[in-house]
Structure 1
Amino acid sequence: MNSNQPILISIVGPTAIGKTALSIKLANFFNTEIISADSRQFYKEMQIGTAAPTNEELKAAPHHFIKHISIDDYYNVGNFENDAISKIEQLHESHKVVIMVGGSGLYVDAVTKGLDELPKVDMEIRNKLNTKLKTDGLEALQFQLKKLDEKTYNKIALDNPQRVIRALEVCLSSGKPYSSFLTSESKKREFKTITVGLTADREIIYDRINKRVDLMVQDGLLTEVEALFPKKDLNALNTVGYKELFKYLEGEWDLEFAVSEIKKNSRRFAKRQLTWFKRNGETLWFDFKTDVLDIVEAINKAILKA
């Protein structure tokens, strides 16, 4: 490691592929700490359904941004960008290498590339859109976005209400399409990012997802969701693993169907994650079974080039 530039190793890949386990191995190898870029694991009330690191895993290496806020808190990707960059810079004072891990593509990009500067949003507009979501449903918001900004409509994860509302509130507050504010220029960072991707054949990924969901149910996911049911309308809870079981608790679906929907929606999410992460042509991709020392060797080669 002859480069003086601090290094951020960013571990990406689809859900249930083994990112957490790899991040701990790499943190131990490089004697460093872990930044979580999994936006669902930020919430302290959501442990089982987000596959947040266990107490044993948290003890195995120091973690940051795991269960650090409440579902009642307003916390967006811009807040995370500022907080994560500040923490990474602080860690780099005593560690040459810092690890970041997470499957939330937008949050990963916020740290590695930076977010575009978006206009200030009128809170009244945000509140109206949230009300519209409750009364008219997500499809009405999707239709509105298609009319106002078809470019964004064709690009974002339309089944994510927060993403749709974020784009709409910018359109309505500024009078311009959300897409007009997005540039491809990356912000300058004081560190070099080396991105490591884990993957597998699609059938293996899907099988791992199905087994993980079964384990979540076995570990008490339904009990966790029942405790959160009174707050089911919060944006943080409009996510895979929770929204499906809310339908069961409301009597709309039976439990077996709700669990099968969690599996289906998790598989769809994994597909979107891979599409997002494959856009980065500099990622070092490895099969999920690759020995950690082989991954370390590839990282060290990349560090020498930094």
Structure 2
Amino acid sequence: MCGLASPNRSREENLLPVIIITGPTACGKTELAMKLADHFECQLISADSSLVYRRMNVGTAKPPARVLQQYPHALVDIRDIDQFFSAGDFVAEAGSAIRAARDSNKLPVLVGGTLLYLRSLLYGLSELPAADPQLRAQIEQEAQLLGWRAMHQQLVVIDPVAGAAIHPNDRQRIQRALEVYRLTGRPISELQSEAAAGILPGQKLTLILGPPSRSWLHRRIRERSDQMICNGLVEEVAGLVGSKSLDLPEMFERLPALRAVGYRQTIEALAAGEVRAEPLAEKISIATRQLAKRQLTWLHGNPAGVWLTAGASANCTRAIELVSRVIDGG
């Protein structure tokens, strides 16, 4: 493995850079992170909102225990499914993991595609206005009349960045984004981006794994969806919900972890009593493609990163070159 800190540089200059590996789902982020860990003394830090949860293994494509033992990841298996894990929680815990890695002369490598987490860590959590119960009730009434997808479309118009990052079914975040805009007259994404000077000191290198083509990405997503079902996704979800009432709105409100793509579709199939592999895999694939599209939209609109083509044989060599250069201050 390569050495990291240079004795000939000042303490500030010698602060190890933070490497970020991101990109749409199913593009091989974890594999690239592990290859970097083979070359450098690294601390891998998950930036995936579902990997924080225990017992959510199959549907999150969580690396198996033997892999996690060989390549330890911070922020994996740190919450139960009935516990909320916010962007603020991520910023606090990821910041702590980054400091611990640097103190141990290890290269902090964040890996994951939860863009809200990464954006919050890079740009900060701004001071947003307090909740306004009267305005929230008004937005709720509008949603009952128009539907939450229509409310999401309103958000896309006033704040394309937040609209791309927030799922059309995520009522809580849609409501909050609309509330902030109506209270301040400014997009929530703009306010959040202003917060942050100095939240993550030192150099940063963002590596973005992008698909070579849309058809390649769609094929990978479908293969992954099929594999999850073969690996026992339905059984895993059934074990998570147990004897709980499948009152879906109440369940998703109480157990936000289960809103994740793959879990939501499987729970809906269980509730309907229609669990068949082919239709379920197709529904998961469609939802995953929509997620990947939102991820790509945000990444293309935030060009502060180096794009690598997912699946390309030269990726590892190129990534090692880029990381070596930023460590050396180039």
Q: Secondary structure at the match of 2:227?
A: helix
Is residue 29 from structure 1 mapped to residue 50 from structure 2 by the alignment?
no
Q: Counterpart in 2 of 1:42?
A: 52
- Verify the 8 A CA contact 2:149 2:169 in the aligned structure 1: no
Q: Counterpart in 2 of 1:274?
A: 296
* C-alpha distance after superposition, 1:204-238 (max 9, x if no partner): 11111111111110110000111233274222212
Is residue 304 from structure 1 mapped to residue 328 from structure 2 by the alignment?
yes
Residues in 2 aligned to 1:91 and 1:269: alpha-carbon distance in whole angstroms? 31
* C-alpha distance after superposition, 1:110-158 (max 9, x if no partner): 22222222234479998x79x989x959x63454576799513784234
Residues in 2 aligned to 1:200 and 1:144: alpha-carbon distance in whole angstroms? 30
**Aligned in 2, Cα 1:226/1:150: closer, same or farther, shift over 3 Å?**
same
**Aligned in 2, Cα 1:143/1:16: closer, same or farther, shift over 3 Å?**
closer
Q: Counterpart in 1 of 2:264?
A: 243
Residues in 1 aligned to 2:179 and 2:296: alpha-carbon distance in whole angstroms? 28
- Verify the 8 A CA contact 1:142 1:164 in the aligned structure 2: no
Residues in 1 aligned to 2:49 and 2:155: alpha-carbon distance in whole angstroms? 27
* Candidates 185, 191, 197, aligned match of 2:208: 197
* C-alpha distance after superposition, 1:7-45 (max 9, x if no partner): 111001111111111111212311121110101111113
- Verify the 8 A CA contact 2:123 2:192 in the aligned structure 1: no
- Amino acid of the residue matched to residue 210 of structure 2? T
Q: Report matched runs for 1:22-101 at 5 Å.
A: 22-101=32-111
* Candidates 158, 173, 179, aligned match of 2:187: 179
Residues in 2 aligned to 1:57 and 1:209: alpha-carbon distance in whole angstroms? 22
Range with greater deviation from structure 2 (289-298 or 32-41): 289-298
Residues in 1 aligned to 2:133 and 2:101: alpha-carbon distance in whole angstroms? 35
Residues in 2 aligned to 1:258 and 1:83: alpha-carbon distance in whole angstroms? 35
Alpha-carbon shift at residue 296 of structure 1 (Å):
0.2
Range with greater deviation from structure 2 (57-66 or 180-189): 180-189
**Aligned in 2, Cα 1:272/1:147: closer, same or farther, shift over 3 Å?**
closer
Residues in 2 aligned to 1:287 and 1:144: alpha-carbon distance in whole angstroms? 35
- Verify the 8 A CA contact 2:17 2:326 in the aligned structure 1: no
- Verify the 8 A CA contact 1:148 1:171 in the aligned structure 2: no
**Aligned in 2, Cα 1:142/1:167: closer, same or farther, shift over 3 Å?**
farther
Range with greater deviation from structure 2 (16-25 or 88-97): 88-97
- Verify the 8 A CA contact 1:80 1:107 in the aligned structure 2: yes
Is residue 140 from structure 1 mapped to residue 164 from structure 2 by the alignment?
no
Could you tell me the TM-score, scaled by structure 1's length? 0.85
- Verify the 8 A CA contact 1:37 1:101 in the aligned structure 2: yes
Q: How many residues align?
A: 301
Q: Report matched runs for 1:185-224 at 5 Å.
A: 185=194, 186-188=196-198, 189-201=200-212, 202-224=214-236
Alpha-carbon shift at residue 59 of structure 1 (Å):
1.3
Residues in 2 aligned to 1:247 and 1:89: alpha-carbon distance in whole angstroms? 41
Q: Secondary structure at the match of 1:39?
A: coil
Q: Report matched runs for 1:112-123 at 5 Å.
A: 112-121=122-131
Is residue 293 from structure 1 mapped to residue 320 from structure 2 by the alignment?
no
Range with greater deviation from structure 2 (239-248 or 8-17): 239-248
Residues in 2 aligned to 1:147 and 1:101: alpha-carbon distance in whole angstroms? 31
Residues in 1 aligned to 2:273 and 2:160: alpha-carbon distance in whole angstroms? 29
Residues in 2 aligned to 1:209 and 1:167: alpha-carbon distance in whole angstroms? 29
Range with greater deviation from structure 2 (188-197 or 272-281): 272-281
Residues in 2 aligned to 1:28 and 1:69: alpha-carbon distance in whole angstroms? 28
Q: Counterpart in 1 of 2:9?
A: none
Residues in 1 aligned to 2:49 and 2:55: alpha-carbon distance in whole angstroms? 13
Q: Counterpart in 1 of 2:168?
A: 159
Q: Counterpart in 1 of 2:10?
A: none
